[in-house]
Amino acid sequence: MISQTAEYALRSVVCLASYPDAALITEEIAKITKVPRSYLSKVLQSLGRAGIVNARRGLHGGFSLAKPADALSLLEVINAVDPIPHIETCPLGLKQHGVNLCPLHKRLNDAITLIENAYRDSTIDDLLKEPTLSKPLHETH
């Protein structure tokens, strides 16, 4: 449902939220998230432009979250890098349908809206605090 870029952005933000008192460099984030470094750089730039992460240069520099994890929704992260497309006009190009979606495409778009709402209602902090045996980005040995 979401793109690989959005997945990488979510992994990156979860990683940064896991280390709230530190600024992590790209290499550290790439290793933890298993995202290729060159791709990660582009994702972090997009997240920076959207005001989701802060970048600090120089000694003791790196990336950190620009806002608390409990105030950052999954949807905000996804929309920063690759928003979920909605069906706004007939995908078949039928002129008589135009913006009046048929029942099939209306239901598909309604499902997209439900998923989008689920992402809107979930914060990064929710992911980190959810009681489960497997924590995001942590391997057990």
Distant-in-sequence, close-in-space partners of 80: CB < 8 Å, separation ≥ 6: 9, 46, 47, 49, 50, 52
| Dihedral of the alpha carbons of 11, 15, 17, 23, in degrees to the nearest 10 | -130
In tens, the pLDDT along 24-65 reads 999 999 999 999 999 999 999 999 999 999 998 877 789 999
Q: Is residue 134 part of a domain?
A: no
Number of domains in the chain: 1
Q: Is residue 12 part of a domain?
A: yes
CATH code (residue 18): 1.10.10.10
Domain that holds residue 66: 4-129
Q: Is residue 69 part of a domain?
A: yes
Q: Is residue 136 part of a domain?
A: no
Q: Is residue 68 part of a domain?
A: yes
Q: Is residue 23 part of a domain?
A: yes
| CA distance to 40, 51, 70, per residue, from 7 (Å) | 11, 18, 19
In tens, the pLDDT along 56-108 reads 887 778 999 999 999 999 999 999 999 999 998 888 888 888 778 899 999 99
Q: What is the pLDDT of residue 141?
A: 42
